[in-house]
Amino acid sequence: MVFSPDSNSVSGSLIRLADNYVVFSERPDESFIAADPPDVATRSLCSCASPVEEWLDTPVARGLRQLTVDLSSRNLRTRNKQQPHRHIRIDVDSASWREQVGKVIADCGVEPLATR
């Protein structure tokens, strides 16, 4: 199955994909919205395929994976059809983690979305 944002729907509502990734905080100066977010993982829409994502072999994907799912006991997606995108909890210092994510993003040339 190929995803088409103009025709794929669930319960009569079109499926909307996010335009970008957000690393967020209550403080605006600690938030990041990517202007042109890189692909980091894919997942087959075929029901016979694995429900978990497959991470790409790019510097940004490797860096973000090391700072997220590699620190967890599971992938971003779960096999549970009722809750396929559960939160991941990792035991890290948030300021250090945010700094490391920022370094991966900057080193890979991911630009922030211009703010008003």
Domain boundaries, the chain: 18-107
- For residue 27, the model assigns a pLDDT of 74
- For residue 107, the model assigns a pLDDT of 95
- For residue 77, the model assigns a pLDDT of 66
- For residue 63, the model assigns a pLDDT of 95
Answer whether residue 17 shows pLDDT above 60.
no
CB 1 within 8 A of CB 15: no
Better-predicted residue by pLDDT, 105 or 90: 105
- For residue 66, the model assigns a pLDDT of 93
Residue range 67-94, pLDDT digits in tens? 988 888 777 766 666 666 666 777 888 8
Residue range 26-73, pLDDT digits in tens? 777 777 778 888 888 887 766 566 667 788 999 999 999 999 888 887
